[in-house]
Structure 1
Amino acid sequence: MRPVRTLPQQLLSVAAAQEGLVSKAQCDVAGVDKDAVALLIRKGRWGRVARGVYDTDAEPTERRLRNDQHDHVRRRAAWVGMLAVPDGIATGACALALSGIGGLPADLVPEAARPGGMYAAVGDGIVLRRYRGFADRPYRGRRVAALVPALAQALPYLTRHHAVAVLSDALREGRLDAAGLQRVREHLRGRRGAAQVYCLLDLAEGRDGSTAETRARLSFIEHGVPPDGQQVTIVAGGVVLARVDFVWKLPDGRYVVVEIDGRAFHSGDAMLADDAARQNGLVATGRLIVLRFPAARALAGGAFSVGAEMADRLKVLSWRPGASIGRSIDLDQARRRRT
């Protein structure tokens, strides 16, 4: 048998659309038989992922240098499920990953369902769901669960933080609205674990600017210091100083502002200068206490979570819950009201 030196362009194109994965059936169509596949694996050019599913990039996923590394790993898990299950339809978190929904765990368990909930023997850690009668949509020659049923399928298996982050991302990106949330609730009815998920729907918030902000907000709530305002514009002297992530109003008329810094913070001299000028403008008013937390800190949680720190700080500052801050704070008007 001649060694495989050049793969058919047809198969390379298929792999490129499937996060580098191909199935045995796709290899057969492209003229790459089982002996050729075995040779590619033996030579270290391919890797076996599951029965009848191969990765055309033998490099471990954690060593692949991609700008979309985390999303690639999630989408790859979804493709493993679809290719390993006959006529596989991506469901749950895998369907959400293919739909571009954020807030998901870094590692997903490959899962898929067959049309009509039919059974198939699968292994290699792949989950076969026996879902029936859910809406789906086309995706690169396959099928994936539509957004609302995919959310209902995924939420019972996600942690509290991930579930709220997924819902908040869908709201922020305009993929879901209040009516859509109600449809998710209806789809959850009767599912195992649904009772524990219902309350999470009420915690979803489209104003969260990122998954890190969602985690921070939940941490504040868990520690008894829910923000008085979120995504609030600060104005002084008729000039917009900044739009800040979270705000608490203090009894003495001052405000505590918290910013969750993402990856872009400190990404370059120009960004650093802009952040510094922005913060200096806020602090110079004498009315604002500005705190910044890196996204990694907000995501970490634990005993030293941002919620725990804010609870301690606000206690010292005599903050009391109950204030409600709208979309903006005009510091001049607030000062006049106090005088």
Structure 2
Amino acid sequence: MVDRLWAGLAEAQAGLLSHRQLRELGVSRGEIRNHLRVGRWAVRSAAVISTTTGPLSPEQALWLGVLHGGPTAMVGALSAATRRGLKRWHRDEITILVGNPLSFEPLPGYRFFRTRRPYKVLLGSGDLPACRLEPAVLMFAAHEPHLRTALGAVTAAVQQRLTTTDALDSWIDRLAPLRRSRDLRALLTDVADGAHSMAEVDLRKACRTYGVEPPRSQRQRTDRRGRTRYTDAEWLLPDGRVLVLEVDGAFHDDVMQASEDRVRNRRLTNARRVVVQCSAWELRHEPWEVIQDLVALGVPTVG
């Protein structure tokens, strides 16, 4: 009977069990030592064993952190956001949120972060205890040393359609007090207005700073081949033409991607629509240069 109990729990937890759970199930220390001695089980930390041997899978690595952290632990920050579907923000170090006073041993490859916020409020759905997406990205943003990286993760969560600006804004209130809440609310305003990347957020900030009309973002257009495209930023010029600004990120430096971008822009250009380009680097480090060029091309000023 005891064997069936721990076997069922191990199956639900990707093959991992904590010593606390084994004690509660009535598994003796002698039985644990025997499983380890004959190589059926393996020690994974001072608090956790696995009923499998060999390298841990990504799923097992998350369970190890949660079980090592104790009954108040859950996967948090970008580790939880990735679990909830966020792409291109993976981190090798796994973040675990805990509600206890961190009395357990450190575990290499894991960052244990104590929070006093209620466990049930943060906990999302699923068998693996993991934080909900919105508090996961917002709490990451609050404590990430680099503000731009922090805001980029929040922007990505909306851009990838995993959440909405309204949902994130509501969670800022629920998590109060939250570091950088002012920066986060300002970001959500830009994202709600159509910015889909940090480069587009930088463009809107530059327009406000230098008194230029803000652009319309992510407009649906059809090129000469009949293909649907979405533009980064557009302005309706006084003469009736439309000026399109396409912002190139780092991946655009790839030769094939750069070639595809030029073809795309050429096919979007016509007698009433002009397409120009700039880099995300320029918007971040030389925004005034970009704004000057836009004004010279006819983008209206305000104020």
Q: Counterparts of 2:189 and 2:200 in 1: how far apart (Å)?
A: 13
Percent sequence identity over aligned pairs: 17
Q: Of the candidates 99, 115, 130, which is equivalent to residue 130 of structure 1?
A: 115
State the one-letter code of the partner of 1:86. G
Q: Counterparts of 2:96 and 2:104 in 1: how far apart (Å)?
A: 13
State the 1:229 CA deviation.
Answer: 0.9
- Three-state SS of the structure 2 residue aligned to 1:256 is strand
Q: Counterparts of 2:297 and 2:17 in 1: how far apart (Å)?
A: 61
The normalised TM-score by structure 2 is: 0.63
Unmatched segments (≥5 aa) in structure 2: 1-6, 22-30
Q: Corresponding residue for 1:279?
A: 265
Given the superposition, is the C-alpha separation of residues 248 and 310 from structure 1 closer, same or farther in structure 2, using an over 3 Å criterion?
farther
State the 1:182 CA deviation.
Answer: 3.7
Q: Corresponding residue for 1:310?
A: 290
Unmatched segments (≥5 aa) in structure 1: 1-9, 42-47, 59-71, 323-339
1:320 aligns with 2:295: no
Given the superposition, is the C-alpha separation of residues 302 and 196 from structure 1 closer, same or farther in structure 2, using an over 3 Å criterion?
closer
Q: Corresponding residue for 2:142?
A: 156
Q: Counterparts of 2:273 and 2:162 in 1: how far apart (Å)?
A: 35
Given the superposition, is the C-alpha separation of residues 99 and 242 from structure 1 closer, same or farther in structure 2, using an over 3 Å criterion?
closer
1:218 aligns with 2:211: no
Q: Corresponding residue for 1:98?
A: 83
Post-superposition Cα deviations, 1:253-283, rounded to whole Å, max 9, x if no partner, equal 43332334686998979x967x665433322
State the 1:191 CA deviation.
Answer: 3.4
State the 1:316 CA deviation.
Answer: 3.1
Q: Counterparts of 1:77 and 1:185 in 2: how far apart (Å)?
A: 29
Q: Of the candidates 185, 190, 194, which is equivalent to residue 203 of structure 1?
A: 190
- Three-state SS of the structure 1 residue aligned to 2:217 is strand
State the 1:314 CA deviation.
Answer: 1.3
- Three-state SS of the structure 2 residue aligned to 1:319 is coil
1:85 aligns with 2:69: yes
Given the superposition, is the C-alpha separation of residues 107 and 35 from structure 1 closer, same or farther in structure 2, using an over 3 Å criterion?
same
Given the superposition, is the C-alpha separation of residues 128 and 182 from structure 1 closer, same or farther in structure 2, using an over 3 Å criterion?
closer
Given the superposition, is the C-alpha separation of residues 229 and 144 from structure 1 closer, same or farther in structure 2, using an over 3 Å criterion?
same
Equivalenced residue count is 272
Q: Counterparts of 1:56 and 1:130 in 2: how far apart (Å)?
A: 33
Q: CA RMSD in A?
A: 5.0
State the 1:179 CA deviation.
Answer: 4.3
Q: Counterparts of 2:184 and 2:299 in 1: how far apart (Å)?
A: 31
Q: Counterparts of 2:216 and 2:282 in 1: how far apart (Å)?
A: 23
The normalised TM-score by structure 1 is: 0.58
CA contact (8 A) 2:138 2:154 kept: no
Q: Counterparts of 1:203 and 1:32 in 2: how far apart (Å)?
A: 57
CA contact (8 A) 1:232 1:245 kept: yes
- Three-state SS of the structure 2 residue aligned to 1:233 is strand
State the 1:142 CA deviation.
Answer: 2.4
CA contact (8 A) 1:215 1:299 kept: no
- Which runs of structure 2 are paired with 1:172-321 in the superposition (5 Å)? 172-177=159-164, 179-205=166-192, 207-208=194-195, 213-224=196-207, 227-234=214-221, 242-260=229-247, 278-283=264-269, 285-292=270-277, 298=280, 303=285, 307=287, 309-321=289-301
Q: Counterparts of 1:22 and 1:233 in 2: how far apart (Å)?
A: 49
CA contact (8 A) 1:232 1:243 kept: yes
